């Protein structure tokens, strides 16, 4: 499997001989800037913006810079093996597409385009409850590709059970429960543009296609959109859940359950005690709490606390192959990537998403090889130095 992913650079160079360039930059750190040129301010800042001053988003990136890879030589790293299994899902590399809602605001292809791109490279697509598209349509677009479902926990148990049943019926295998977004943070960029897609009926593909939710309404969403929109918003915002609600999820989901938004080791321990299968160390990319700890700074302590008792995934701030390698070295089983591929979607739809994913995988593959790591198991804390 010599440079199975890293070979993408050769493909790009050869295509360049015929005058064909990539659909967007191969440098994911530049995609935000170029996406800003093609998106309207509302959609752009909904993706790029953060809570408050943006301090948490900046901390995420600064944390990666404080850790440095220490390359080793003559390790025979000509061939690398990046494949693994994450919560029972075989993957060609430890990378998943993070759940991102309302993708139709950046490209008309929306979630199905991203799901097809993910399936084409074999990476799991984590569908958001806030999808512009129904569960069934995203599943159809995924084809045989691995797919997980992310839940924004509704206060109405019957609606929640219906949505989970639909996801299971559509062959979503793992449930990712987002804990940190039970209400929206103070997001100045969205507020300055008075931009919230949901109040315009965007990002409601899941509830508006759900028979139980529709049954609660006196008029259909098509007949009375405002009432349907407000009813749904009231179900998913304004109420924080508690640990004693977790058994409800286990009653209605027989696959792995992952809690997303864990940043404190005591919460990680409680996830273990509650019988959860995994956690995502995440601060929602800096979108929820201004001035919070960087996810990468939280990772080592959480790994030390529970790393032998459940699977630990990581997100918030991933932009390069080196970032992925650092998170894996610090104990993450896999990483979730969000904004970069959304910018790829904005640039070129499905092709843009695929390009960004292949670029990240190539970067990871080459970074591992050139730093002397042949397998994922070779990435350990000793691979790094903290500055």
For 360-376, the pLDDT digits (tens) are 999 999 999 999 999 99
Whether residue 141 is contained in a domain is answered as yes
Known catalytic membership, residue 284: yes
Which residues does 76 contact at the CB level (< 8 Å), separation at least 6?
A: 374
For residue 2, tell me if it sits in a domain: no
Average pLDDT over residues 32-59: 97
**Which string of DSSP letters, residue by residue, matches 217-283?**
-SS-TTT-HHHHHHHHHHHHSS----GGGHHHHHHH--S-EEEEEE-SHHHHHHHHHTT-SEEEE--
Q: pLDDT per residue over 185-230, tens digit each?
A: 999 999 999 999 999 999 999 999 999 999 999 999 999 999 999 9
* CA gap 136, 156 in Å, rounded: 21
pLDDT recorded at residue 4:
85
Number of domains composing the chain = 1
The residue length of the chain stands at 387
Catalytic member of 107, 284, 355, 373: 284
Query: Contact 138/147 with Cβ under 8 angstroms?
Result: yes
d(CA 356, CA 165): 32
Q: Does residue 193 belong to any structural domain of this protein?
A: yes
- Model pLDDT, residue 108: 97
- Domain, as residue range, for 359: 8-386
* Mean pLDDT calculated for residue range 43-60: 98
The tokens of 317 are what? Answer: 């701030």
Structural domain contains residue 94: yes
59-71: average pLDDT:
98
Q: Strands, DSSP E only, in the chain? A: 67-69, 84-86, 89-91, 95-97, 125-127, 147-152, 175-178, 257-262, 278-281, 311-314, 334-337, 384-386
Which of 299, 152, 173 minimizes the C-alpha distance to 239?
Answer: 152
- Would you say residue 324 has pLDDT above 90? yes
Q: Is the pTM of this model over 0.85?
A: yes
**What is the maximum alpha-carbon separation in the chain?**
70
CATH, residue 222: 3.20.20.70
Q: Confidence band (pLDDT; 50, 70, 90) for 7?
A: very high
pLDDT tens for residues 221-235?
999 999 999 999 999
As given in the structure block, the two tokens for residue 87 are 């919560």
Give the Å distances, CA to CA, from 122 to 2, 144, 153, 354, 358.
18, 9, 28, 11, 11
The 3-state DSSP class for residue 69 equals strand
Q: How high is the mean pLDDT of the chain?
A: 97
Rounded to the nearest 5 degrees, what angle is found at the Cα of 364, between the Cα atoms of 328 and 27?
120
Confirm whether 1 is domain-assigned.
Answer: no
* Other beta carbons within 10 Å of 293: 16
Asked whether residue 3 is assigned to any structural domain, the reply reads: no
What pLDDT sits at residue 2? Answer: 43
3-state secondary structure of 88: coil
Handedness of CA 29, 33, 38, 42 (dihedral sign): positive
Residue 81 in domain: yes
In a domain? residue 63: yes
Q: Which two tokens stand for residue 175?
A: 């449930």
Please give the Cα distance from 157 to 166 (Å, whole number).
14
Q: At 340, is the pLDDT very low, low, confident or very high (cuts 50, 70, 90)?
A: very high
């Amino acid at each position: 499997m010599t440079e199975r992913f890293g070979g993408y650079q050769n493909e790009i160079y050869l295509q360049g001989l015929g005058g064909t360039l990539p659909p967007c930059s191969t440098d994911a750190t530049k995609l935000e800037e170029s996406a800003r040129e093609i998106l309207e301010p509302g959609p752009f800042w909904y993706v790029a913006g953060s809570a408050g001053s943006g301090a948490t988003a900046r901390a995420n990136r600064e944390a990666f810079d404080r850790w440095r890879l220490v390359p080793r030589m003559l390790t025979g790293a000509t061939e690398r093996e990046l494949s693994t299994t994450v919560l029972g899902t075989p993957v060609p590399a430890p990378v998943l597409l993070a759940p991102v809602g309302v993708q139709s605001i950046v490209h008309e292809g929306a979630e199905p385009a991203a799901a097809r791109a993910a399936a084409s490279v074999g990476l799991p697509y984590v569908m958001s409850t806030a999808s512009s598209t129904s569960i069934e349509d995203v599943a159809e677009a995924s084809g045989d590709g691995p797919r997980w479902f992310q839940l924004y926990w509704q206060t109405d148990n019957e609606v929640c059970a219906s949505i989970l049943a639909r996801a299971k019926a559509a062959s979503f295998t793992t449930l990712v429960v987002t804990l940190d977004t039970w209400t929206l943070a103070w997001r100045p960029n969205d507020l300055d543009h008075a931009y919230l897609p949901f109040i315009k009926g965007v990002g409601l593909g899941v509830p508006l296609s759900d028979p139980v939710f529709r049954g609660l309404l006196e008029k259909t969403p098509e007949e009375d959109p405002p009432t349907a929109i407000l009813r749904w918003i009231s179900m998913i915002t304004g109420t924080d859940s508690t640990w004693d609600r977790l058994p409800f999820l286990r009653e209605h989901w027989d696959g792995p359950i992952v809690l997303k938004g864990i940043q404190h080791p005591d919460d990680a321990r409680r996830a273990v005690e509650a019988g959860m299968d995994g956690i995502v160390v995440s601060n929602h990319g800096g979108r929820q709490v201004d001035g919070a700890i960087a996810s990468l700074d939280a990772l080592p302590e959480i790994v030390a606390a529970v790393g032998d008792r459940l699977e630990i995934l990581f997100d918030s701030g991933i932009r390069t192959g080196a970032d992925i390698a650092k998170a894996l070295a610090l104990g993450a089983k896999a990483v979730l990537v969000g904004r970069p591929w959304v910018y790829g979607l904005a640039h070129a739809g499905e092709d843009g998403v695929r390009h960004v994913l292949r670029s990240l995988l190539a970067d990871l593959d080459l970074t591992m090889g050139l730093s002397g790591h042949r397998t994922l198991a070779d990435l350990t804390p000793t691979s790094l130095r903290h500055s």
